[in-house]
Amino acid sequence: MNTAFSVILQFLELVTALLAAPLLTGWVNQCRAWLGNRTAPPLFQFYRQLAKLFEKEVVLAANASSLFRAAPYFIFACMALASMIVPTLSTEPPFGPAADAIALVGIFALARVFSALAGMDIGTSFGTLGARREMLIGFLAEPALLMVFFTASLISQSTSLSTIVQALGQREFAIYPSLAFAGVAFTMVSLAENARIPVDNPTTHLELTMIHEAMILEYSGRHLALIEWAATLKLYAYSCLGLALFFPWGIPEGTGFANLLVALPALVFKLAVGGFLLALIETVSAKLRIFRAPEFLGTAFMLAVLAMLVHLLLETAK
Amino acid sequence: MSTGLHLDLPFYAQVINLLAAMLLLLSFAMLAQRRILSLINLFMAQGVVLFASTAVVAAATNQHHLYWSALITLVLKVFLLPWILHRLIRRLNVKWDIETLINIPTTMMIGLVLVIFSFNLALPISALAGTITRSTLGIAMAAVMLAFLMMITRSKAVPQVIGFLAMENGLFFAATSATYGMPMVVELGIALDVLVGMVILGVFFFQIREQFDSLDIRHMEKLKDD
């Protein structure tokens, strides 16, 4: 494999992620507005918001520690790394061997720990409240996410994401009930992890119901911009992960330049459809009470475990 | 690089496996359901899945008597029993949320343990069987267990009866997957039993409510003390 080219490809994948992530969030917001019969904000609204926030000065609370100032950079770095590991344009990103599916869950967890610590750092009650809720959601969502990865790993006999995606993409046509279960579980987990509607409302500013917004209430200026950008990157990484695991067609195996011409339109198309479906789910469902969230995520966990069991029972050749 | 995956299963078996997985999912959905009306609809959906899987097994193995059992399933479990249940809850006027003795996430975790238990139990049995549906035996047993769990964790009479009917669904599925169904006489007998049982239990509901002003089974425990 051409090393220089693969480095360029990896760089391209990162740039695509950084640029496409706000666009994806903008697209989801647009779809939500259309479905709710409102006038949609422009597709590039999120870039303007980021540009505005980067220009503004940072206002820090008097008792903010250095952790509070460092956290946005850590969160952003974690999400950027995660979106580099997820196979989007090629099944063999050079960064792929750096982390497998389990380490990816760890990267997401690291970002969560930092945002929760930063939320509690100032000492306001809202930050603490948001951090506690975030940890509750995370503690329930993580096992379910791991179980989804274990199912995919059992099918493809590897925990490396690129091997999983290759194996799933090349399979002959067959009905895999386990993958269907795992897909539903993954969708539920990503709704919870990305602060989407059944669990958290991304646009809310009502103090008693918010989770993600409560943690970042004290941030301003470039810190807030980085956190918002990281949130869009997280949504992008989860979307690409779901597409790579459950709709892996169109991700080329090699690293040739011609493959990119196939991969890029396929990715854009899949993300557009996925974003619309996400907006649809958010429009038709109501936000759950916070005490129903464990039930929601418990269902996701149960589905993921069932997926694994069903795979072991039905799909392993005896 | 890596070789593509492939499943050494004929297409019919894959469809049956999918239907079996759906049956298991529906069993869990029934376990987690809070409303009686949705519970009856889920029971109906289970009947549809059962009908479809029996019909597919019949088509795959050329067992003509299975078409008849599929038909009986369709008439009895998709139309007749849900209709009777709907009528019953309308006449009893019970549409309220179901009380469970254990909270729902815990029930589901217990359900998962039961599934693992029955999958393990079924593995040696299905290794001996030669049917196309042998691997679904574990799911059939899990469905029986889950219905059993539903009967245990519900305190009201109607959900318990639905649990009983769901258990019969699981047994029927087990019969189809282990031995391509029971003899016609037995099958007809069971179908009639379930129907008559349902009618009698319907009468029981009214009696229980007349006696205790409630359908809560826990009231019946006090009979000993009086």
**pTM score of the predicted model:** 0.89
CB-based contact B23:B145 (threshold 8 Å):
no
Q: Give me the pLDDT at residue A158, please.
A: 87
Kindly determine whether residue A295 and residue B104, on different chains, have CB atoms separated by under 8 Å.
Answer: yes
Q: Give me the pLDDT at residue A278, please.
A: 93
Question: What is the mean predicted confidence (pLDDT) over B121-128?
Answer: 82
Kindly determine whether residue A166 and residue B5, on different chains, have CB atoms separated by under 8 Å.
Answer: no
- Please tell me which of the candidates B2, B119, B126 has its beta carbon nearest to residue A167: B2
Q: Is the pLDDT of residue B122 over 80?
A: yes
Kindly determine whether residue B21 and residue A314, on different chains, have CB atoms separated by under 8 Å.
Answer: yes
- CA–CA distance, A305 with A144 (Å, rounded to integer): 8
Chain B residues within 8 A of A178 when measuring between CB atoms:
21
Q: Is the pLDDT of residue A178 over 50?
A: yes
Q: Give me the pLDDT at residue B3, please.
A: 42
H-type alpha helices, A122-256 = 125-156, 161-169, 177-193, 212-215, 221-246
Nearest Cα to B157, choosing from B36, B46, B28, B38? Answer: B36
Q: Give me the pLDDT at residue A192, please.
A: 92
- The string of pLDDT tens digits covering residues B7-21 is 667 888 888 889 999
Q: Which two tokens stand for residue A176?
A: 């895999």
Q: Is the pLDDT of residue A229 over 80?
A: yes
pLDDT-derived band at B1 (thresholds 50, 70, 90) equals very low
**In this structure, what are the phi and psi dihedrals at residue B34, rounded to the nearest 5 degrees?**
-100, -25
- Distance in Å from the first CA to the final CA of chain A: 38
Kindly state the percentage of chain A with pLDDT values over 70: 95
- The string of pLDDT tens digits covering residues A113-137 is 999 999 999 888 889 999 999 999 9
Q: Does A254 touch chain B (CB under 8 A)?
A: no
Q: Give me the pLDDT at residue A217, please.
A: 87
Kindly determine whether residue B2 and residue A166, on different chains, have CB atoms separated by under 8 Å.
Answer: yes
pLDDT-derived band at A24 (thresholds 50, 70, 90) equals very high
| Residue numbers of B between 100 and 119 with CB closer than 8 Å to A | 104-105, 108-109, 111-112, 115-116, 119
- CA–CA distance, A136 with B44 (Å, rounded to integer): 36
Q: Give me the pLDDT at residue A181, please.
A: 92
Q: 3-class SS at B100? A: strand
Kindly determine whether residue A175 and residue B112, on different chains, have CB atoms separated by under 8 Å.
Answer: no
- The string of pLDDT tens digits covering residues A99-115 is 788 999 999 999 999 99
- The string of pLDDT tens digits covering residues A231-271 is 999 999 999 999 988 888 777 766 567 777 788 888 899 99
Chain A residues within 8 A of B123 when measuring between CB atoms:
313
In chain A, whose CA is at the least distance from the CA of B12?
A175
